[in-house]
Amino acid sequence: MNHIMDKLSPRIKGIVVTCAELVWFNSLWASTVLLGDSIAWLCWLLLIGRALVAADRFNSALLAGKIASVGIAFDMLLTINGWMVFDSDFSLILPHWMFALWLGFGYLLPNGLSYTLRLSPLVYAPLYAIVGAFNYWIAYKLGAVSWSYSVPLTLFALGCVWATLSLLWGMSRSLAVQEN
């Protein structure tokens, strides 16, 4: 497959990589949200597979871990403060599948979504606010998480969190300049 990818123009190659990253992440997202900790082993296998195909395995894993750590910290704060409630039986504040999901997003952001951070913050911050909150709303509707506050208030809070996260990621030079 590498020889086929080498024949593509950089623009087409970038589109193919972005589409593959999005399909991979959405498969991870759907399996974690729909099946929770019962499917965590498969999610970790998907993450190991993703790590193994990275061109620079160490730096990719390090960057994914940094992104995941920030996202996990925000979700833990939301959970500790009662905004999100999970029904799964887990020893940490968040269920195991949330850690896998955030690590997956840590791989997606610099590879499949880096183009969004090249836009103006006036464009990408609202975009991340809407899409991020929307994904949590879908998880809420599917029963993966419960909310202690009203839906509009929680969506607003989640939108603020995701806008803030996007601004943090956008300020990170390692994300904004990294090429596919």
The Cα 3–Cα 81 span in angstroms is 51
Q: Which residues of the chain have pLDDT under 70?
A: 1-3, 5, 88-91, 173-180
| Predicted local distance difference test score (pLDDT) of residue 3 | 62
> Range of 104's domain?
2-176
| Predicted local distance difference test score (pLDDT) of residue 179 | 46
- Tokens 């609202």 sit on residue: 126
Our count of domains for the chain comes to 1
The Cα 111–Cα 21 span in angstroms is 7
Q: How would you classify the pairing of strands 146-147 and 84-85? A: antiparallel
| Predicted local distance difference test score (pLDDT) of residue 176 | 42
| Predicted local distance difference test score (pLDDT) of residue 130 | 97
**DSSP state letters, 29-82:** HHHHHHHGGGGHHHHHHHHHHHHHH-TTHHHHHHHHHHHHHHHHHHHHHHHHTT
What digits encode the pLDDT tens for the residues 41-64?
A: 888 888 888 888 877 888 888 888
Q: Angle CA(42)–CA(48)–CA(49) in degrees, nearest 5?
A: 90
Tell me the pTM: 0.84
For residue 84, the cross-strand partners are: 147
Buried residues in 157-171 as b, exposed as e (16+ CB within 10 A): bbbebbbebbeebbe
